Structure 1
Amino acid sequence: MATAVVAGLVFASTPSTAQPQPLALSGSLKSVYLRSRASTGEDYALSLNRLRVEAKGDLAPGLALDLQYDNEVLLGSYLGTAEFRAAKDRVAPQYWRADANYVERGDVYGRHRLYRAAVTLTRGEIDLKLGRQRIAWGTGRFWSPLDMLNPVNPLALEREERVGVDAALFEAKLGPLSRASLVYAPAPDRGSPSRAVQWHGNASGVDTSLVAGRLLGLDIVGMDLATQIGDAGIRGEVARLRPRGGPAFNRLMVGADYALANGLTLSAELYYNGAGSRDPAGYDIAGLGSGRVTNLATRYTGLYAAYEITPLLKWVTYVVVNGDDRSRAVDSRLAWSWRSDLELVIGLQRFSGTESSEYARMPNAAFAQLQWFY
């Protein structure tokens, strides 16, 4: 009902005057090879091969399409582990079921899905986007108290891959640097839908956002700030969250970014997670395995460094430290732009800590990735 009312407001507004962009096909072919160890202690190999086809552009004046289809083939001994059997049967977090497997035989597993599937209706200064999309709220590189619908995972092997949410997003531009947004996302299990409003503006060089609503079963009130102090970028987010029938808690992130003239870029973030535990005995391991929980403890530090060795060769490292149990995670990789349409990445992930700590339970990994863009 609310979506229909918003759609009516969009179509009643002044037609868009933006220059139409013709529908274009593009995409990529990616192959990732991973060596690691399962929770049972057995070594495994995994080859993930993904063809992504993208169709983007205007179907008509004021009507844009973003469609991204994935076809994946997984190969290797990982398919025989209990971890993979549990992961492949896990229900997708989206409302619409837009994925399926088409082959499952020994060390071969094939599946396909809609990674993005959304249309945007534009009338004047008003946009209405419907379908599977990324709703990028917040400013965090490692953690984001506000980006709950498409959360950040600082240790994801494919950091650029962000699970989309099936939602209606209504945005009204209020000025050159300000806007108001309204999101509605039905729950996949017929539970409480996510619905929230955001106001974003800029004053005296400071970007500010205010968020209020209910996201993933949590009432939320929060804000973020981003500004420049000298040559450094300063960011921050704070949120007050309350589960229905449970105690409220806070999440807080403070970050800084600095780029040196020699090609070195540095970032740092401090994160407080009021829903976590300072004692490893109280960690929500079951929630971590189900995907409901992304961090177990309360205090974290994230460090990022990137250096352009040459215009075509880049070194990137992420370091995450759990401030409660002192465990650490390091992700370091080299990215070589072999050609303008071809990129090779090789990297290592290493985890350390005491036996009961958060990151000590995660296996080390070595990986290589080749991606061709067309």
Structure 2
Amino acid sequence: MNRLINPMPHQFSFSLLTSTMVLILTPLTGLSAADLTGRVSILGNVAWPEQGDIGDAHRTTADQQSLRLMLDDYSDSTEWSLHLKTLRQHFNGLSTAAPTAPQQFRLHSLAGEFLNETPDDSYTRLVYEFDQAVYRWRSEQTTLSLGRQAIEWGSGRFWQPLNVFGAFAPTDLDTDYKQGIDAATLQWYPSAFASLTAAYIPGPADDNTSKDSAAAYYRGLIGDRAELSLLAGQVLGNNLLGAALESDWAGIGWRIEGIHYDLDNREDAGIFWIAGADYQFENGILATAEWYHNDLGSSTEAGLATVQTTELINAGIQPYFGKRVLGLSLSKDLTPLLRGSYTLLVSPLNDNESQHQYSTLQQLNLSYSLSNDSVLLLSLLTTSGEGLNGQQKVQSEFGHIPTGAVVRWRVYF
């Protein structure tokens, strides 16, 4: 365990930052009956890169400490929410800076950094950002939301093609709060079981080439057991039209979801769709399977390099370089306090001889509840497949990702 968690050599900096944020936000609670809550997360990661993997050392380590402060206020017709996130990250054994979240859907960054150090084989940063800042007004049948907010659409378990403003990956460990985007949304509820949402998202103010985005999303019941979703809009200049249908049959939940993209920056179009099913066994095991198909991805190893530079990949809307992925998962409560889950992703690609080559990703998670407000997580990840070539280009979907382990402690207050 000690190998996985860094003993926090910069603990003083994190403690100072935490105290500063509390001092900033606490006086705001005196303005109204707002509630101040928070979450602290401490994470340690170790990876063992081999030849062809990302990473320049035989072992890479990382530690991360984050604080999220949430200020919320509610009344009969209005509510507002403000989330301030602070984060310290340290990577050892990496020669490049850690990737940052896509900013295509944020008018202003509302972020800054206290520290950014990049020695030859490590990287340390101490940053803050306002991740949520939204005001909502409600009437009997409508809700108007203005500001930085999370938009969550789609019905898929592993992937959601209708989640056109970004979605979690199947292997993401932090899914408590989705990244907020700057938007104006209007929700109308024509009945108790249907909603229609219109969203407008301006492009970044500091990018003259960026384009505004807009979409309309409908979700409602069909009969007693089926749910239909429809979406139309324009995102980053790309016209799109999608739909999803979800229901159950003989105890098996099933769903199909897809969206058609007509790309603006190239004469190309394609469909991104998923089909999946899940089943709960009598012993408590939940089994889920989902098939991913994206016409905009590559079906060959040679085509992966071109796909990596597309706008949809950079925006986080297109999850993978390849065209097809199969996802399987099993999860179960092992004890009242311990939950386990296993995920397997398989991606096929054609090599230069038109032969199928497969890469896989396997993830095992164990989550233990230390108390009502505290959770300890252990995650193990391993992959197989072709790694990076001599020019450091990917040759498979997962083969370049090194084996790794994560330990995370999280507490809410």
TM-score (normalizing by structure 2): 0.79
What do residues 109-166 of structure 1 show as CA deviations (whole Å, max 9, x unaligned)? 2111112111111122110111111111111121111102022312334344532211
After superposition, residues 41-190 of structure 1 pair within 5 angstroms as: 41-42=56-57, 43-58=59-74, 60-77=75-92, 81-84=95-98, 87=99, 92-93=103-104, 94-105=106-117, 108-188=124-204, 189-190=207-208
1:28 matched to 2:76: no
Tell me the C-alpha RMSD between the 2 structures: 2.1
Cα distance in 2 between the residues matched to 1:273 and 1:329: 19
After superposition, the Cα gap between the structure-2 partners of 1:91 and 1:360, relative to the gap in structure 1 and judged at 3 Å, is closer
Say whether the 8 Å CA contact 1:150–1:165 is kept in structure 2: no
| Structure 1, gaps ≥5 residues long | 1-20
Instruction: Name the SS for the 2:302 alignment partner.
Output: helix
In 1, Cα distance between equivalents of 2:97 and 2:132: 26
Q: How far, CA to CA, are the matches of 1:178 and 1:370 in structure 2?
A: 39
Relative to total residues, which structure has the larger strand share, 1 or 2? 1
| Residues 305 and 316 in structure 1, CA contact (< 8 A), matched pair in contact too | yes
Paired residue for 1:314?
A: 339
Corresponding residue number in structure 2 for 1:363: 402
Matches within 5 A, 1:146-295: 146-188=162-204, 189-190=207-208, 191-204=210-223, 205-244=225-264, 245-283=266-304, 284-287=307-310, 290=314, 293-295=318-320
TM-score by length of 1: 0.87
CA distance in 2, matches of 1:83, 1:114: 21
> 2:147 is matched by which residue type in structure 1?
G
- CA–CA distance in structure 2, aligned partners of residues 230 and 297 of structure 1: 33
Q: 1:275-320, CA deviations, whole angstroms, 9 ceiling, x for partnerless residues? A: 0111011012344984554211111111111111101000011211
Q: Contact 2:338 / 2:367 at 8 angstroms: preserved in 1?
A: yes
Partner residue, 1:305: 330
8 A Cα contact 2:313 2:319, kept in partner = no
Closer, same or farther: CA 361–159 of 1 in aligned 2, 3 Å: farther
After superposition, give the CA deviation of every residue in 1:70-91 in whole Å (9 maximum; x if it has no partner). 111223425x62143xx36x77
Seen in structure 2, the aligned counterparts of structure 1 residues 363 and 141 have a Cα distance that, compared at 3 Å, is same
CA contact (8 A) 2:136 2:144 kept: yes
Q: Is the 8 A contact 1:317 1:332 kept in 2?
A: yes
Contact 2:102 2:314 in 1 (8 A): no
Tell me the secondary structure at the aligned position of residue 310 of structure 1. Answer: coil
Map of 2:363 onto structure 1: 331
Return the alpha-carbon distance in structure 1 between the equivalents of residues 254 and 33 of structure 2.
Answer: 38
Measure the CA separation in 1 of the matches of 2:102 and 2:157: 27
**Contact 1:259–1:265, Cα closer than 8 Å, also in 2:** yes
CA distance in structure 2 between the partners assigned to 1:131 and 1:330 by the alignment = 38
Residue 335 of structure 1 and its aligned partner are, at CA, apart by: 0.3
Identity %: 23
Q: Which residue of 2 aligns with 1:341?
A: 373
CA offsets per residue over residues 198-252 of structure 1, 9 Å max, x none?
Answer: 1221121211011111123321111011112132211110111101242210111
Ranges in structure 2 where 5+ consecutive residues have no aligned partner:
1-31, 350-356, 388-394
Instruction: Give the drift of 1:329.
Output: 0.6
Letter aligned with residue 325 of structure 2: Y
Q: Which amino acid aligns with 1:192?
A: K
Answer whether contact 1:52 1:71 (CA < 8 A) is retained.
yes
Aligned residue type for 1:68: H
CA contact (8 A) 2:313 2:320 kept: no
> 2:213·2:235 contact (CA, 8 Å) conserved in 1?
yes
Residues 324-368 of structure 1 deviation map (CA, whole Å, 9 limit, x = unaligned): 341101111100001111100011111111342121011221110
Partners of 1:126 and 1:134 lie apart in 2 by: 18
Q: Is the CA contact (8 Å cut-off) linking 1:153 and 1:159 kept in structure 2?
A: no
CA distance in structure 2 between the partners assigned to 1:364 and 1:98 by the alignment: 35
CA 1:186–1:139 in structure 2 vs 1: closer, same or farther (change >3 Å)? same
Deviation at 1:41, TM superposition (A): 2.6
CA contact (8 A) 1:69 1:114 kept: yes
Could you list the structure 1 runs, at least 4 aligned residues long, displaced by more than 4 angstroms after superposition. 105-108, 287-293
| 1:260 Cα deviation from its structure 2 partner | 2.1
* More displaced 10-residue stretch of structure 1: 169-178 or 321-330: 321-330
Specify the code of the residue in structure 2 equivalent to 1:131.
G
Indicate the larger mover: 98-107 or 187-196: 98-107
